[in-house]
Structure 1
Amino acid sequence: MARIHNRDWCLACTSSLKELPRHVYFRAYSLKGGTCVQGHEHVWWQFLFARNGLMQVQAGATTLTLPPDYGVWIPPGCVHTLWIGEEVELESLYIEPTAVAIQDQEPRVVMVDEFVRAFIHHGCTSIPVKYDEDGADGRKVKVLLDSLQSLPDAPFNLPFPTEPRLLEVCLTIQSAPHLAHTLDESAGLARMSSRTFTRHFLRATGLPYHTWRQRMRLLGSLEMLRSDITVTEVALTIGYSTPSAFTHAFKQLFGKSPSRFTRPEPK
């Protein structure tokens, strides 16, 4: 598993819940920045949502960056670790597998709209643990599940290869994103020809090498944008020659400008 940040972490464990009291269990809690929730798995689906704050999720061989207003589906049996870079307010749903009709059993990030965001908060604050599944609360939960399953995917995942030589290349890029990491350089590090490296990398990650490298840089920029670093400094730090080049690439991947991901000023 790839280590997400170079810092000391306060380790925490997940809930000890063994059985869901209803088909959907709402769980809301806060975690301080610098917390790592150690690897664990559930026998149910989890919809993980950070109402405030940014975190990263290592789910299987995939790294997922989760800013505010985005949620992640974590399938049953998927070992996942949470890396909390700043204080977050989590609002999770634990969901019995029979309560949803999801074909793709891979972790995926989705964009949460204002309606669903408010609905999740209502569920976490107002729907009782042992709600009446045949009553008004049960009907609300079914509507929420339908809404969650229709949310559009967002490009915040980054699959890591498991082959040691390819993984070494990816971790090298992660540790120094500002460097060029040309195809020939990375192929040499992996002790492969450029053609062989390109073929193996695509097969291992599902992404062309240059696409993976760019996504790694842009995903890494999200945490920087949440700090006091300017867009210009972020662009230079992750290897872009100008802020405009960074902004263009950012918009192409995320559909929004970098300023949309900066931390709001305290009121």
Structure 2
Amino acid sequence: MPDPGRPDVVGFALTYGSGTAIERHTHPAHQLIHAISGAMRVVASGGIWFLPLGRALWIPAELDHEIRCDGEVGMRTAYLSRACPEVFADVRMIAVSPLLREVLVRLAEGDGGGLRPALLEILLQEIAGAGLPPLRLPYPADPRIAELVAHLNAAPADRTPLAQWARRLGFSERSLIRAVRAQTGMTFRDLRRYSRVMAAIERLCEGRPVTMVAYDVGFETPSAFAHAFRTVTGKTPRQFVAEARESF
């Protein structure tokens, strides 16, 4: 860990197998996590944050979080002391520029004989100017809605209708509609669409063809997939992947 008494940073390179679960934990330092291969899901601050290639997540010190790995993940992570100035007090998604990626890689390889102060300054500047809209699903407090969200994440192609979910979870249809809205801020349809797009992003960043991914995550046509993807991310699938890979 970095020296807690002054602005400092240390980096690590870690590799995790597909499906690895890093259980809920905290760190005494701030953390920036990024994958140079694979994708991660981070549960923190009442949400599920999706981290494909090209994105990093800022996690403040002492914040509970857990991580799930989709595919083999090559993680590059930096820990920043709490003495660092002007850092975020909440979880943030960060765009990983080529420069930020190289700083993270260099920190993970060692400080190169006293480069840590300079690398820390660059890192802080990159973080401050690289915020992104989050790829995030709310993590419901109601265990029944949490079960629904977890299933949609694990099996995005499942077409189980709302009425069947209501029976399974012990709701009337109207009560389930209200509960999903209250717990996630989304309709059931939007929740399913968002879950499918998040699953699609992970597959696209693994290099799978767009058409194959569209069907894998439950869309009936590639055009329906493209429309949903643009609605959620503001970009086409190919645009999103191209931008993610620009930093590699």
TM norm. shorter chain > 0.5? yes
Q: 1:19 to 1:118 in 2, by over 3 A?
A: closer
Residue 29 of structure 1 is matched in structure 2 by 13
The one of 244, 254, 261 equivalent to 2:223 is 244
* Range with greater deviation from structure 2 (192-201 or 89-98): 192-201
Instruction: Extract unaligned runs of 5+ from structure 2.
Output: none
Percent sequence identity over aligned pairs: 25
Aligned match of 1:90 in 50, 71, 75?
75
Q: 1:254 to 1:38 in 2, by over 3 A?
A: same
Query: Cα offset for 1:83?
Result: 2.3
Moved over 6 A (4+): none
Inter-CA distance 179–32: structure 2 relative to 1 (3 Å threshold): closer
Shift of 1:212: 2.3
Q: Which of 10, 23, 26 is 1:41 aligned to?
A: 26
Contact 2:13 2:109 in 1 (8 A): no
CA distance in 2 between partners of 1:128 and 1:119 (Å): 11
* 2:75 is equivalent to residue 75 of structure 1: no
CA distance in 1 between counterparts of 2:116 and 2:106 reads: 11
- 8 Å contact from structure 1 (residues 108, 157) kept in 2: no
- Is the contact made by 1:179 and 1:239 (CA closer than 8 Å) also made in structure 2? yes
Q: Which amino acid aligns with 2:241?
A: F
Per-residue deviation, 1:164 = 1.7
Secondary structure at 2:71's aligned position in 1? Answer: coil
Give the residue type in structure 2 aligned to 1:109: M
TM-superposed CA distance for 1:91, in Å, is 1.9
Q: Aligned-residue CA RMSD in angstroms?
A: 3.2
Structure 2 distance, partners of 1:206, 1:101, is: 31
Kindly report which structure 2 residues correspond to 1:1-267, keeping only aligned pairs within 5 A, or say none.
17=1, 20=4, 23-34=7-18, 35-59=20-44, 61-102=46-87, 104-105=89-90, 107-125=91-109, 127=111, 131=114, 137-227=116-206, 229-259=208-238, 261=241
2: CA distance, partners of 1:189 / 1:73: 37
The Cα shift of 1:228 comes to 6.7
TM-score by length of 1: 0.74
CA contact (8 A) 2:8 2:117 kept: no
- Please give the alpha-carbon distance, in whole angstroms, between the structure 1 residues aligned to 2:80 and 2:192: 34
Deviates more, 1:55-64 or 1:236-245: 55-64
Query: Which structure 1 residue ranges, 5 or more long, are not aligned?
Result: 1-16
Letter in 2 for 1:108: R
Higher RCO (C-alpha under 8 Å, 6+ residues apart): 2
**TM-score, with structure 2 as normaliser:** 0.79
| Matched AA of 1:250 | F
Give the 3 Å change call, closer, same or farther, for CA 240–213 of structure 1 in structure 2.
Answer: same
After superposition, what is the alpha-carbon deviation per residue over 1:187-228, rounded to whole angstroms, capped at 9, x for unaligned? 444433444434433332344433322111111123333457
May I ask how many residue pairs the two structures share in their alignment? 242
Q: Which amino acid aligns with 2:231?
A: Q
1:30 partner letter: L
